[in-house]
């Protein structure tokens, strides 16, 4: 998505994506790669992400002022762009 200029490079660093995916319940995985992707993206889109934790469980994943967390607006943008890309690919 970065190579296609759909998102800017600093929108979704890999460690924040790892944190995002670590909050997805295990039952969203187990199908084909395409089904896992759809199920995960759908769950993340609908989830209340306000209490998500980083992969290490030491910090919330999202916080408005913390220097070690992702901004929820950036996650919202990333998810929106990802849904658009998936639906139009």
Query: Model pTM?
Result: 0.91
CA 9 to each of CA 15, 46, 87: distance values in angstroms, whole numbers, following the listed order: 13, 25, 21
Token pair 């943008």: residue = 77
Query: Domain limits at 87?
Result: 1-7+39-89
- In sign, the C-alpha dihedral spanning 56, 82, 42, 64 is positive
Check residue 68 and give its pLDDT. Answer: 86
Which neighbouring-strand residues pair with 62? 70
In a domain, 44, yes or no: yes
Q: What Rg value do the Cα atoms of the chain yield, rounded?
A: 13
In a domain, 14, yes or no: no
Check residue 67 and give its pLDDT. Answer: 87
In a domain, 21, yes or no: no
Check residue 19 and give its pLDDT. Answer: 96
Contacts of 44 (CB under 8 A, 6+ apart): 20, 24, 79
In a domain, 12, yes or no: no
Q: What is the pLDDT of residues 12-69, one digit of tens each?
A: 999 999 999 999 999 999 999 999 999 999 999 999 999 999 999 999 999 988 888 9
- Considering only CA atoms, which of 71, 6, 86, 89 is closest in space to residue 38? 86
In a domain, 13, yes or no: no
In a domain, 26, yes or no: no
């Amino acid at each position: 998505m970065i190579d296609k200029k759909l998102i800017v490079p600093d929108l979704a660093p890999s460690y924040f994506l790892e944190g995002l995916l670590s909050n997805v319940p295990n039952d969203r995985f187990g199908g084909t790669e395409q089904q896992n992707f759809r199920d995960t993206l759908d769950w993340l889109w609908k989830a209340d992400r306000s209490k998500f934790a980083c992969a290490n469980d030491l910090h919330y994943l999202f916080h408005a002022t913390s220097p070690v967390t992702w901004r929820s607006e950036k996650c919202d943008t990333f998810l929106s762009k990802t849904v658009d890309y998936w639906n139009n690919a």
